[in-house]
């Protein structure tokens, strides 16, 4: 049984995101607040909006902003190459689950050695958010999965039509942005993905 992470697109307001998450969070294992370029206060507004909408704190992951994640007592933080070091964050904020964004086996091994709990790996398929960059493909997923023992969650161009292939390549789960949050019917898309990833019918 895999896990489903849903990640904000940066194209919606806190209120818009919260309104969608109020309906789809039951299908997700984690909801990432990924709002690049926003201040700590602005990122906090997104977290507060999700909490007020009924999203459990233990499903919320804040990208990059360790301070916001710690202050609001959420599930965890997703770190990128420009973020604070994994080891330092884990040492200081032992209650946070730490994800690390990686692009290959070497980076995944480094993240594991530093204490990351899981890695986001991508981008697997072509995606509008990475124009001009070649996707790393399913073989890339398999290579990273073989390199480490911690869960690898695939990201990039994933939707209900290709999620199964990612899981077959060994990923522990998938992370999805626009396929859910920019969909005409986010609830239907989230439910469909959850059924695929978790391998069971959801009523």
Q: What is the pLDDT of residue 134?
A: 78
Predicted confidence (pLDDT) per residue in 94-144, tens digit: 999 999 999 999 999 999 999 999 999 999 998 877 676 778 999 999 999
Say yes or no to pLDDT of 190 above 90.
yes
Say yes or no to pLDDT of 203 above 70.
no
pTM score, whole prediction: 0.96
Round to whole Å and give the CA distance between 28 and 18. 14
Predicted confidence (pLDDT) per residue in 29-50, tens digit: 999 999 999 999 999 999 999 9
User: What does the pLDDT average to over 138-163?
Assistant: 97
Q: What is the pLDDT of residue 202?
A: 67
Residue 10 — left, alpha, or beta (φ > 0 → left; ψ -120 to 50 → alpha)?
left
The pair phi, psi for residue 121, each rounded to 5°, is -120, 135
Q: How far, in whole angstroms, is CA 116 from its chain's centroid?
A: 14
What does the DSSP 8-state code read for residue 103?
S
Q: Nearest Cα to 108, choosing from 146, 52, 61?
A: 146
Q: What confidence category does residue 19 fall into, taking pLDDT thresholds of 50, 70 and 90?
A: very high
Predicted confidence (pLDDT) per residue in 54-96, tens digit: 999 999 999 999 999 999 999 999 999 999 999 999 999 999 9
């Amino acid at each position: 049984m895999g896990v489903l992470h849903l990640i904000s697109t940066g194209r919606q307001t806190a209120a818009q995101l919260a309104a969608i998450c109020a309906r789809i969070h039951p299908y997700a294992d984690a909801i990432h607040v990924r709002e690049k370029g926003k201040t700590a206060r602005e990122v906090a507004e997104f977290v507060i909006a999700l909490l007020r909408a009924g999203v459990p704190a233990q499903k919320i992951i804040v990208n990059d902003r360790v301070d916001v994640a710690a202050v609001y007592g959420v599930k965890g933080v997703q770190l990128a190459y420009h973020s604070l070091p994994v080891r330092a964050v884990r040492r200081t904020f032992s209650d946070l689950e730490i994800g690390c964004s990686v692009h290959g086996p070497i980076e995944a091994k480094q993240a594991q050695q530093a204490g990351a709990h899981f890695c986001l790996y991508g981008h697997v398929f072509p995606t509008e958010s990475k124009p001009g960059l070649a996707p790393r493909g399913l073989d890339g997923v398999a290579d990273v999965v073989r390199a480490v023992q911690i869960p690898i969650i695939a990201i990039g161009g994933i939707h209900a039509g290709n999620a199964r292939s990612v899981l077959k390549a060994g990923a522990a789960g998938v992370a999805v942005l626009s396929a859910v949050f920019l969909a005409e019917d986010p609830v239907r898309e989230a439910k469909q993905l959850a059924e695929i990833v978790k391998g069971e019918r959801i009523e």
